[in-house]
Chains A and B, each alone.
Chain A
Amino acid sequence: MNAPSPHPAAVMHPEVPDDRRVIFENVSKFYGEVLGVNRVTLSIPPGITGLVGPNGSGKTTLMNLIVGLLQPTRGALSVLGVTTDRPEELFRLIGYSTQYDAFPPGMTGYQFVYSFLRVHGFGHAESEAMTWKAIERVGLVEAAGRKVAGYSKGMRQRIKLAQAMAHQPSVLILDEPLNGLDPMARAEVISLFRELAAGGLHVIVSSHILHEVDLISDQVVLLNGGYVVAEGEITGVRDEMEEQHPAQVLIRCDRPSLLASRVFEQDHVVEARIHEDGKGLLVRTRDADQFYLLLNQVVLENGLGIETVMPTDADVHAVYQYLIGSNGEKS
């Protein structure tokens, strides 16, 4: 299908000024003749932004371009109004936890965070206080004095996260930050992301775990084969797709057959199926708003008893399936 890709500024919080955004202007990156990303135009406001796409779709390339680890072949980008050729300013604004599971040899968790704060230019006392604060936020205080080489995968992820946010950046970029974390740590880290985003930070997260991206993201950017195939708030992206992929709604109610007879009269309803247990109706419609109006009407006129109304394909997983497909093939 043609991906719904309206101009981002029209979708993603137009009230936020450009100097509070991460902006890609027609950015392309080629590795020789191999495409990294192509013609990416994005304008990312504060909040949690999920980058979603199969392996090789360009998520890491996009993140590396933001921080200047890669140079764009074409186009320009800026972070809160600062371009990547001004490192003294840029890297006070950005913290980046990369996918690389590598650390300077021989360091403890504390030394790792502290040493790079000193490279930022902070003094000893400031660095010490900021190091402990960051380590505390990721729950590694007890392990701070141990060598990073002896950490578990989850602990290494958390110390990288601490290092990325220790200097209190405005934009936090995290490449697969939930990899290797146990369920408890995942919940804590997700809660931390929410807390940071609520404080006005940009938190840009890539993940292949769609359920988690859906859970934490205020907006998503879907990538496939180096192209942005969709972006915006997930509900907005889903609404744009209604014509080609009708919305599915499951209504748990006491008289599904009555509801089925009423919805079949509507042009926008393409399918209505009574649930296997006989206590619900699954409706596919090209106009969800009209359907919800009708549902209200049926409740008022016929006294229909409703238990739940649940959209079943309005999450990032469904959007991903429709746009990219389970194998990463764009449909």
Chain B
Amino acid sequence: MSEIVTQSVSVRPSTGNLPWRLWAKQILAVLRLELRKSFLGRRALALYLLALAPVFILLLRVLLGGVNDAGDTAEATTIFSAVYQGFLLRMVIFLGCVAIFGNLVRREVLDRTLHYYFLTPLRREVLVGAKYLTGLIVATVLFGLSTLVSFILAYLPHEGVQTFLFQGPGLGHLASYLLITALACLGYGAVFLFFGFFFKSPAIPALMVFGWEGIHFLLPPMLKKVSVIHYLQSLLPVPMSEGPLAILADAPSPWIAIPGLIVLAAVLVTVSAMKIRRMEISYEEE
């Protein structure tokens, strides 16, 4: 018997003794798998349509409005600011993050495929990190492109675009909007990843967050701090009026808003990673 037993030797990946190297390889492998699913899967179509929605609206404006009737870039700045804050940030990015991050783990449970990851020598905490990173790449690419193209389309029909972009604040505005988009994906992504672990149907708490973020302007200053939009709005290059009913509060400085969102994301991803360590696979209960 012992002769036979010694023949059974497991094949180990050649990684040396450094777990970081192994984890890096594993994260890349998960990214390859997940990015293919996210960008090329059938479910990606709804996300593409969502990301294209603001582009489509601004494209219609270009096609129907005509270049000759457009005013100067100040008008474009107002229009884009309204579209970005009222639609892209609050609706498109928010809903997109619900769909992307809320389903990172939840969808695998419903599809009964999560066990394939759990049966590899991949630490579950590393899996959560890799999944979050996937979501972040997908959301940032999709909504970053959406922001970029929308910005271009908003300014396209107006006179003095070149001056606004290269001699004025144009590029700075664009960089700010792209940064806000990335931070929104980071913050909302972590929130909805967290919901995916703690709720069987992440859509219900997501709806509550949607309502909370929606009435943000009515909240007293203390409660405003418990919302993602509060920190994102403080980074907007063109502040927008929130109406006569809005309760005013001091906007946090970028030095608080940016690290604050990063810390929030780190905490929520860490709690999610702790949750997955004790997670059991019992698809029958789903």
A interface, CB within 8 angstroms of B: 13, 15-16, 20, 31, 45-46, 64, 67-71, 87-96, 98, 100, 102-106, 115-116, 118-123, 126, 130, 163, 167-170, 198-201
Question: A residues within 8 A CB of B280?
Answer: 69-71
Chain B residues 258 to 286 lying within 8 A of chain A, measured CB to CB, are 278, 280-283
In the complex, are the beta carbons of B124 and A123 less than 8 A apart? Answer: no
Stretch in B4-12, B50-58, B134-142 with 4+ CB within 8 Å of A: B4-12
A-B contact count (CB 8 A): 127
In the complex, are the beta carbons of B1 and A13 less than 8 A apart? Answer: yes
In the complex, are the beta carbons of A201 and B8 less than 8 A apart? Answer: yes
In the complex, are the beta carbons of B33 and A122 less than 8 A apart? Answer: no
In the complex, are the beta carbons of A88 and B5 less than 8 A apart? Answer: no
Residue on B with the closest CB to A86?
Answer: B121
In the complex, are the beta carbons of B282 and A198 less than 8 A apart? Answer: no
Residue on B with the closest CB to A96?
Answer: B119
The answer to the question of B90 belonging to the interface, with a C-beta cut-off of 8 Å to chain A, is: no
Residue on A with the closest CB to B8?
Answer: A200
Question: A residues within 8 A CB of B19?
Answer: 88
Residue on B with the closest CB to A67?
Answer: B119
In the complex, are the beta carbons of B29 and A119 less than 8 A apart? Answer: yes
Of the candidates A46, A89, A104, which one forms a contact with B37 in the assembled complex, judged by CB atoms under 8 Å apart? A104
The answer to the question of B211 belonging to the interface, with a C-beta cut-off of 8 Å to chain A, is: no
In the complex, are the beta carbons of A115 and B33 less than 8 A apart? Answer: yes
Stretch in B75-83, B109-117, B162-170, B183-191 with 4+ CB within 8 Å of A: B109-117
Question: A residues within 8 A CB of B15?
Answer: 121
In the complex, are the beta carbons of B32 and A64 less than 8 A apart? Answer: no
Question: B residues within 8 A CB of A90?
Answer: 121
Residue on A with the closest CB to B112?
Answer: A102
Of the candidates A67, A106, A126, which one forms a contact with B13 in the assembled complex, judged by CB atoms under 8 Å apart? A126
The answer to the question of B243 belonging to the interface, with a C-beta cut-off of 8 Å to chain A, is: no
Cα A101 to Cα B6 in complex, Å, equals 34
With A64-B281, A102-B111 known as contacts, the answer to whether A91 contacts B121 (CB < 8 A) is yes
In the complex, are the beta carbons of A121 and B26 less than 8 A apart? Answer: yes
In the complex, are the beta carbons of B10 and A200 less than 8 A apart? Answer: no
In the complex, are the beta carbons of A69 and B121 less than 8 A apart? Answer: no
